[in-house]
């Protein structure tokens, strides 16, 4: 059942997701420790307060590091789903019973055996065919079979929508992490108010830079992910519509007495 659910939602296996998440955080940590933070320190040492506009200084804090790690993981999740959609695209417009003569009554048991024995039996399109033929087998009514198509397609759309929950959560969480950085930076700036009153504003300026940079990076990443989420949703909606059209065009033509 878990395998069938993952197939319908087109999510990668849970273990693979955890491994990729760990790899994303590890790689980003290595890049930050080896490149970004040393570069930010060098820029800050030479340019002082003017370095706050440097890309290295903008990216150097831990909130930005977490946001970029989640960006990579989220892109992996969406990329995996898009790859699955493209890889199986031909199945959504295919007549799985093309070898059967439509002018003759369909051999229900033979058709079910062929579909259930296929390596693509867990594909959402073929699963819809199987559910519809089973309904026709039990009721011997084409109208009931057509209703099974509608209910199966609705269930498929709901499964795809629920399968995107993790992606939506990450897209929501990234701006929240940026806001955490904003609160942290403002808190650090207020802690150095005495120094600022004494004339040394460098510490407060750096802390305020942390506050605004984390939100800036988080919002920019969120905009990128929302665009790709829109592309993914559009592709999934098109797949659902093609599945329904394929069933109505090919499957119902086979179901008659």
| pLDDT tens across the length of the chain (257 residues) | 444 545 566 888 899 999 999 999 999 999 999 999 898 888 877 765 556 667 888 888 888 999 999 999 999 999 999 998 888 777 777 888 877 777 777 788 888 888 888 877 777 788 888 888 888 888 878 787 788 888 888 888 888 888 899 999 999 999 999 888 888 777 766 666 666 566 655 556 666 666 788 888 999 999 999 999 999 999 999 888 888 888 888 887 877 65
Give the per-residue pLDDT at 3.
Answer: 47
Rounded CA separation 81/74 (Å):
11
CB atoms < 10 A from the CB of 196, how many? 15
Instruction: Identify whether 183 is part of a domain.
Output: yes
Residue 115 lies in a domain: yes
Q: State the pLDDT at residue 141.
A: 80
Query: Two tokens at 164?
Result: 């995107």
Range of the domain at 149: 2-95+105-254
Q: Tell me the two tokens of residue 235.
A: 């592709």
Does residue 141 fall inside a structural domain? yes
Closest CA to 242 of 100, 94, 131: 94
Which pLDDT score, from 0 to 100, does residue 194 have?
65
Q: How far apart are CA 79 and CA 85, in angstroms?
A: 10
Residue 26 near residue 182 (C-beta atoms within 8 A): no
Residue 100 lies in a domain: no
Q: Report if residue 10 sits inside a domain.
A: yes
Is 67 within the bounds of a domain?
yes
Residue 174 lies inside a defined structural domain of this protein: yes
Q: In whole angstroms, what is the distance from residue 244 CA to residue 241 CA?
A: 5
Q: Give the total number of structural domains in the chain.
A: 1
Helices (H), the chain: 2-9, 14-31, 37-47, 55-59, 62-87, 108-116, 124-139, 142-163, 165-191, 193-197, 202-246, 252-254
Q: Exposure pattern of 211-237 as b/e (b: 16+ CB <10 Å)?
A: bbbbbebbeebbeebeebbeebeebbe
Q: Give yes or no for a contact between 187 and 208, defined as CB atoms under 8 angstroms apart.
A: no
């Amino acid at each position: 059942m878990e395998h069938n659910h993952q197939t319908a939602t087109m999510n990668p296996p849970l273990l693979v997701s955890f491994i990729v998440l760990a790899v994303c955080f590890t790689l980003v940590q290595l890049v930050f420790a080896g490149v970004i933070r040393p570069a930010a320190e060098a820029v800050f040492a030479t340019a002082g307060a003017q370095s706050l506009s440097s890309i290295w200084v903008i990216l150097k804090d831990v909130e930005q590091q977490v946001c970029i790690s989640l960006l990579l993981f989220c892109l992996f999740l969406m990329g995996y789903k898009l790859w699955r959609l493209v890889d199986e695209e031909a199945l959504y417009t295919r007549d799985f019973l093309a070898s059967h003569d439509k002018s003759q009554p369909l051999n229900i048991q033979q058709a079910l055996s062929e579909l259930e024995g296929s390596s693509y039996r867990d594909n959402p399109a073929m699963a819809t065919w199987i559910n519809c033929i089973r309904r026709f087998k039990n009721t011997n009514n084409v109208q009931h079979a057509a209703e099974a198509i509608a209910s199966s397609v609705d269930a498929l759309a709901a499964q795809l929508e629920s399968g995107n929950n993790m992606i939506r959560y990450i897209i929501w969480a990234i701006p929240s992490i940026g806001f955490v950085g904003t609160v942290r930076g403002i808190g650090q700036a207020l802690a150095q108010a005495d120094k600022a009153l004494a004339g040394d504003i460098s510490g407060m300026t750096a802390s305020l830079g942390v506050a605004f940079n984390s939100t800036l990076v988080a919002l920019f990443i969120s905009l990128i992910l929302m665009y790709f989420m829109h592309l993914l949703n559009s592709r999934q909606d098109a797949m659902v519509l093609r599945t329904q059209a394929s069933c109505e065009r090919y499957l119902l033509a086979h179901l008659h007495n």
